[in-house]
Amino acid sequence: MSDYTLSEAATALRDGSVSSRELTDAALDRAAKSEAELHAFLTLAHDGARSSAEAADTAFASGRDAGAFQGIPVALKDNLVTQGIATTAASQILAGWVPPYDGTAVARLKDQGVVIVGKTNLDEFAMGSSTENSAFGPSRNPWNTDRVPGGSSGGSAIAVAAGSAVVGFGSDTGGSIRQPAALCGVVGMKPTYGLVSRYGLIAFASSLDQIGPITRTVEDSVTALEAVAGHDPLDATSYRGDRPGFRDGFESGVRGLKIGVVRELTGEGFEPDVEAAVRRTVDLLSDAGAEVVEVSIPSVDVSLSAYYLIAPAECSANLARFDGVRYGLRRDGETVEEMMTATRADGFGPEVTRRILLGTYALSAGYYDAFYGQAQKVRTVVIREFEEAYRQVDVLVSATAPTTAFEIGSKTQDPLSMYLSDICTIPSNLTGHPAISVPVGLDRHSLPVGFQIMAPALGEAVLFRVARAVEQAVAFEARPPLLEEWS
C-alpha cells in the first residue's frame, strides 16, 4: 500500500478499495520501520495525520470530494510553514518555533483534504546539496545508507522513495528538488518562477526560490503542481497571468519535437555511468521520433559562480530577520546587539554562517559592482542564451547531477566540490525556467541516475510531455532494495 502512486491512491480511495486511514497507517508504519536508518523526518505528525485521514474518510463516505489530495499522505520539507506543527528549516535558530499560520501551498493542499505525515529534513535553510548541513543530523539514501540522499530537500525525496509518503514537497533555489529526486530515484520538478506562491516558504534567495513536488511518476508531478499553482495576492512575485495548461499534449509523445542536448553539461566532472544513462535516454527519445541536436550555452560555465554570489547576497538579507526577538532561539546579552550576536552565533550552523558572510561582503559598498553587480550581468547573459536556445529547440536536456549519490562525509570538508553538484540545475533557477528530473537508470553501484529536462518560461506542458515520454521509453522500475526490510 505504501507503494501507491498518487493516481493509484486517488483511484483506490474513490472506488473504496482503500481508506485514507489505511494509507496513512501504511505511510507511518514505513516511517517507523525506516527512520532509524534514514532520518527523513524532523517531525512525524502521527495524531494530526490520523485525524486528517479520518476526516478524509468521512468526506468520501458522504460523497464530498475536495480534490486530488483528499486523504493522500504527504511529506513537507521543514521550510514550509505549517500552522501548529513545528517548522525549523533544520536550524537551531528556529528550534521550538510553532507557526501560527499555513503557507499558501500548504493551505491549498489542506483545502483539498491532504494528510500531512510530517516535516522532512533539509540542509539548514535549504543551503546545501546533501542534507548533511541539517542542525539535527544528516539523512541517508534509501538505496544505500552510506550515501547522501542529495539536498537540500533530501528528506522529502527519501520519504517518497521509501514509501513514507505518496507525494513530497520541497523548495528549489539551485536544484534542491531535482538533485535529491535524482539521487533517490524519483521525479522532482521545479516550476516556472512565480507559478507557486512562496508565501510561507522560509526565504533563502527570493529571486530564485520555488516550491515544487517530488513524486513517483510524471503524471503525479502534474497533478501535484496543479494542486498548488496559481496566483496568490500574498506573494508579490506570484504570476498574475492565466495559468498555462500543464497537461496539453501530455500523452502525445515526442514526435516532431526538437530536443537540445546541452554541450557544456557533459564531459569533465561527469561520471561515465551518468553520461551513458543520459546518452541512452537521448537515443530513446530520438527513436521515439524527436529530432535531437547539440546546443551550446557557453554561460552555463559561469552560472555556478554567479549563483554563489546572488544566492548568498539574498540570503544575507533574508536571514537578518532571525535576530532573537521574533522567532525561536534567544541568547542573553548586556545590550541588544550582544543578545543578537550571541543568538545568531549559536543559532546558525557553519554553512549558513559562511553564506551570510559571503553575501554581506559581496553586497558591501566598494565591492557591490565587482561582485553582486557583475553576477547580475552574468545572470542576464544566461537568460539571453537560454531564450536564444529555445528559439531553436523545444526543450533542453542534460544529466540532473554530474554524479550519483556520493558517500556521506565525502564533500563536507570541501564546500566547492559540494557546490559543483548543482552545475546542471542552477541555470534554470537563474533563468526562472521550469525543469524536471526523471529517473532513467542505475549506475554500477545500483544508485539511481536522474535525467533533466528544461523548458522555457511557462513551458510546463512541453516539459511534462517530454518527461512522460522519457518515463515511458525508459520504464525505470527499480526500487530501493532495503524496502523489503521495511515492509
Query: Which residues make Cβ contacts (< 8 Å) with residue 358, sequence separation at least 6?
Result: 308, 309, 312, 316
Q: How far is the CB of 381 from ligand GLN (least distance, A)?
A: 20
Rg (CA), the chain: 21
Query: Pattern 279-318, binding to ligand GLN, x per CB under 6 A?
Result: --------------------------------x-------
Which range of residues in 36-44, 124-132, 191-199, 453-461 is near ligand GLN by CB under 6 A?
124-132
CB of 90 to ligand GLN, least distance (A): 12
**Residue 51 β-bridge partners:** none
Instruction: Say whether residue 176 binds ligand GLN (CB under 6 A).
Output: yes
Nearer to ligand GLN, 172 or 460 (CB): 172
Output the smallest distance, CB 152 to ligand GLN, in A.
Answer: 4
Out of 163, 175, 427, 450, point to the residue binding ligand GLN (CB under 6 A): 175
DSSP 156-216: HHHHHHHTS-SEEEEEESSSTTHHHHHHHTSEEEEPPTTSB--TTBPPS-TTT-EEEEEES
Q: Applying CB under 6 A, which part among 122-130, 333-341, 433-441, 463-471 lies near ligand GLN? A: 122-130
Q: Does 174 bind ligand GLN (CB under 6 A)?
A: yes
Q: Round to whole Å and give the CA distance between 416 and 153.
A: 19
Considering the complex, state which of residue 266 and residue 421 has its C-beta at the smaller distance from ligand GLN: 421
Which cell numbers hold the place of 168? 513530497
Residue 176 is a catalytic residue? yes
With respect to ligand GLN, which residue has the nearer C-beta, 53 or 274? 274
Identify whether 77 is a catalytic site residue. yes
- Do residues 53 and 165 touch, judged by C-beta distance below 8 A? no
Question: Residues 421-460 vs ligand GLN: string with x where CB under 6 A?
Answer: -x--------------------------------------
Determine if 394 is a binding residue for ligand GLN (CB under 6 A). Answer: no
In the chain, the amino acid numbered 190 is K
Query: Binding segment for ligand GLN among 166-174, 290-298, 327-335, 369-377 (CB under 6 A)?
Result: 166-174
Taking the alpha carbons at both ends of the chain, their separation in whole angstroms is 10
β-strand pairing of 210-215 with 187-190: antiparallel
Residue burial 383-409, b: 16+ Cβ < 10 Å; e: rest: bebbeebbeebbbbbbbbbbbbbbebe
Q: Catalytic positions, please?
A: 77, 152, 176
Residue numbers of the site for ligand GLN (CB under 6 A)? 126-129, 152, 171-176, 204, 311, 422
